[in-house]
Every structure is written in structure tokens, then in C-alpha cells.
């Protein structure tokens, strides 16, 4: 796999014309070309290096508040996965394809000569990508922070009984996302591509415990108490119970994993950004505030 990059320094403003960082620090933007797609990358802040990997249907723009909070104490790298945000569309959207996107970003950071290995933070699908990457490249990261993803749930989420409801939900979502086309928040995947990827993720999570066994870096999990919402009707209670059972299963086998529960749904990166940033800052390992 060949990767080409193009880097530029830009003024301290984002697409909305607001300041993109604090003080005199500059946000640097560059692109990575690999596997026929273009991945936009942004880097800014000061302190320990940290890479923030978004999840399915989330973009750098969606994670802006969390990114800005983390930049106060970290040199933060963010990017868009293929078919998301300012990244180009692709012919394929499998788990392996997204994992290769993350690997391409991490490889380029290795070429930049970071002072220390970065903390790798992943949200939702990004958390699963982070676990698989860390398993394959343990020496290139300092620590993992997993936000509402990479959960070894005991049961798959998408069963035959709920498949029609999930299909309808993602068709509605794809229709809503039409309004974001051409913006930094666009998602180019079709409803069928999102469904296929979620089915694949169910299978991957059934075997993710084996991945955790091969990771010797500190791990922090930040999880939502109501991943599927707080409704007492329909499948939400079962989904939320399955979510908690997966984390409990993981911690029983790996009690060293630090776990934090936030009273939120799966959108916690948007609704609870300050709390998430503080958990990362307070982490006793490499993710925390640098010691003078």
C-alpha cells in the first residue's frame, strides 16, 4: 500500500469561520491518499500526542467540541474515514477498509517523528478499529481510550426479529443525511452499506476478546448507560442490558481496564464532551496531563 501526503498550515479558523484553536497554536491540515481514497487529517494543540478516530456516521466536524477540549492538553490528530466528512467516497466500506484508513493515518504520523507514541482514542466503530490496530501494532501506541465501542457483547444486536426495524432506521438516516451532502458532516454510505457494516461488526465483536488478550497497553473505556436510549419499551432495554453485559464480561477477564459509565446514549461524544475530555485528562497513564 502506498500513501501520499500533502500538508499545509492554515489560519486558526474552521469551516464555520470560528476560531479552530486557542492561543497562537496553528491547526495543520494534510491529506493522505491510499487505496484510492483521500483522507483529510487535522492536527493541533499542545502536549502529548493523541489520535481521535471517529465512528460510523460521525466526522471530524461532529467531534469538534471534544477535539477542542482535548487540544488544551494534547497534540490532537483527527481525521475523516472514507465516505465521511471531507474524505472521498470509496468502492468498499468493509471493516477492513476502515481499519486500513486508520492504519494509513498512523503510518503517516510515524513518518512525522512524534516525540512519543500517541494515545489512540476511538469512538463507536472507531473504538473497534483502535483495538484491532493496537493488537496488530502494539509498539506504536501508548494507551487506548475506547468510547462506547469495541464491546464484546454476548449477543448480536441485529437479529432477524429486529432486522426490518434497523433497515428502516438506516433508510431514514440516509435520507436525513442528504441535507449534509457537500458539507464537513456528510456521510456518503447508503442504508444498505451501513446495514452490511453493522452486521459485520456484530461478527467481529463476537471475537474481540481475543484481540484484548494481545494488548499490553493501558485501556480506558468510557461507556453510555443507555446506548440505545432510555425507552422502557421495544428493544432498547435488551440492547442496553446486552451493552452492559459485554463490558462486565470484558472487565471480568481484564480487571485492569478502567471503566467509566456516563448517563447518556450513544451520542455521548456530543452531549458529554467535557466529561469525556476530563476522564482522558485525569487518566493516570500516558493519556493524562503531562508532568512538568
Which residues neighbour 65 within 8 Å (Cβ) at sequence distance 6 or greater?
270, 273
Higher pLDDT, 110 or 3: 110
Query: 120, 241 in Cβ contact below 8 A?
Result: no
Residue keyed to cell 434497523: 166
- Residue 285: what pLDDT? 62
In the chain, the N- to C-terminal Cα span, in Å, equals 40
- Residue 113: what pLDDT? 86
Q: What are the residues facing 9 on neighbouring strands?
A: 28
- pLDDT above 90 covers what percent of the chain? 85
Higher pLDDT, 186 or 8: 186
Q: Does residue 39 belong to any structural domain of this protein?
A: yes
Q: Does residue 292 belong to any structural domain of this protein?
A: no
Q: Does residue 103 belong to any structural domain of this protein?
A: yes
Residue 248 has pLDDT above 70, yes or no: yes
CA pair distance 57, 199, nearest whole angstrom: 15
Higher pLDDT, 22 or 213: 213
The count of structural domains within the chain is: 1
Query: 287, 279 in Cβ contact below 8 A?
Result: no
pLDDT tens digits for range 63-83: 999 999 999 999 999 999 999
Residue 4 has pLDDT above 90, yes or no: no
Enclosing domain of residue 54? 4-282
Higher pLDDT, 23 or 227: 227
CA pair distance 35, 269, nearest whole angstrom: 29
Question: Where are the alpha helices (H) located in the chain, listed in sequence order?
Answer: 64-70, 95-112, 125-136, 163-177, 191-206, 208-212, 236-253, 268-271, 273-282
Q: Does residue 203 belong to any structural domain of this protein?
A: yes
**Average pLDDT in the chain:** 90
Residue 10 has pLDDT above 70, yes or no: no
Instruction: List the strands of the sheet with 74-79, edge to edge.
Output: 4-9, 28-34, 37-45, 74-79, 48-53, 119-123, 143-147, 219-224, 258-262
The DSSP 8-state label assigned to residue 140 in this structure reads: G
Residue 276 has pLDDT above 70, yes or no: yes
Number of neighbours of residue 206 by Cβ within 10 angstroms: 13
Q: Does residue 291 belong to any structural domain of this protein?
A: no
- DSSP 3-state of 123: strand
Going from the C-alpha of 78 to that of each of 6, 113, 159, 258, 276, the distances in angstroms are: 16, 17, 33, 24, 16
Residue keyed to cell 476478546: 209
CA pair distance 101, 80, nearest whole angstrom: 9
CATH number of the domain within which 98 lies: 3.40.50.1820
- Residue 283: what pLDDT? 80
Residue 24 has pLDDT above 80, yes or no: no
Confidence grade of residue 287 (pLDDT, cut at 50, 70, 90): low
pLDDT tens digits for range 133-168: 999 999 999 999 999 999 999 999 999 999 999 999
Residue 61 has pLDDT above 50, yes or no: yes
- DSSP 3-state of 4: strand
- Residue 26: what pLDDT? 87
61 alpha carbon, distance to own chain's centre: 13
- Residue 46: what pLDDT? 93
Q: Which residues of 142-152 are buried (b: 16+ CB within 10 A; e: fewer)?
A: bbbbbbbbbbb
Confidence grade of residue 25 (pLDDT, cut at 50, 70, 90): low
Q: Does residue 288 belong to any structural domain of this protein?
A: no
Of the ranges 17-26, 107-116, 259-268, the best mean pLDDT one: 259-268
CA pair distance 98, 58, nearest whole angstrom: 13
Low-confidence winner among 3-7, 35-39, 40-44 (lowest mean pLDDT): 3-7
Query: 126, 101 in Cβ contact below 8 A?
Result: no
Amino acid at each position: 500500500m502506498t500513501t501520499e501526503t500533502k500538508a499545509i498550515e492554515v489560519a486558526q479558523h474552521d469551516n464555520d469561520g470560528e476560531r479552530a484553536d486557542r492561543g497562537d497554536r496553528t491547526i495543520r491540515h494534510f491529506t493522505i491518499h491510499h487505496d484510492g481514497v483521500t483522507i483529510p487529517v487535522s492536527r493541533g494543540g499542545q502536549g502529548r500526542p493523541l489520535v481521535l478516530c471517529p465512528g460510523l456516521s460521525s466526522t471530524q466536524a461532529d467531534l469538534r467540541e471534544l477535539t477542542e477540549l482535548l487540544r488544551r492538553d494534547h497534540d490532537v490528530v483527527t481525521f475523516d474515514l472514507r465516505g465521511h466528512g471531507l474524505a472521498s467516497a470509496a468502492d468498499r466500506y468493509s471493516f477492513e477498509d476502515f481499519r486500513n484508513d486508520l492504519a494509513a493515518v498512523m503510518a503517516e504520523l510515524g513518518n512525522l517523528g512524534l516525540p512519543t507514541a500517541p494515545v489512540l482514542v476511538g469512538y463507536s466503530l472507531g473504538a473497534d478499529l483502535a483495538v484491532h490496530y493496537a493488537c496488530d501494532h502494539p509498539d506504536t501506541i501508548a494507551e487506548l481510550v475506547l468510547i462506547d465501542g469495541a464491546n464484546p457483547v454476548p449477543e448480536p444486536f441485529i437479529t432477524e426479529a429486529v432486522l426490518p426495524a434497523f433497515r428502516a432506521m438506516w433508510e431514514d438516516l440516509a435520507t436525513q443525511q442528504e441535507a449534509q451532502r457537500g458539507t464537513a458532516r456528510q456521510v456518503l454510505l447508503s442504508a444498505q452499506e451501513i446495514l452490511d457494516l453493522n452486521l459485520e461488526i456484530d461478527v467481529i465483536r463476537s471475537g474481540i476478546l481475543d484481540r484484548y488478550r494481545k494488548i499490553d497497553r493501558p485501556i480506558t473505556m468510557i461507556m453510555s448507560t443507555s446506548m440505545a436510549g432510555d425507552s422502557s419499551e421495544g428493544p432498547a432495554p435488551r440492547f442496553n442490558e446486552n451493552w452492559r453485559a459485554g463490558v462486565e464480561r470484558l472487565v471480568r477477564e481484564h480487571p485492569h481496564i478502567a471503566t467509566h459509565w456516563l448517563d447518556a446514549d450513544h451520542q455521548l461524544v456530543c452531549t458529554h464532551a467535557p466529561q469525556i475530555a476530563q476522564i482522558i485528562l485525569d487518566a493516570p497513564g500516558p493519556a493524562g496531563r503531562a508532568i512538568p
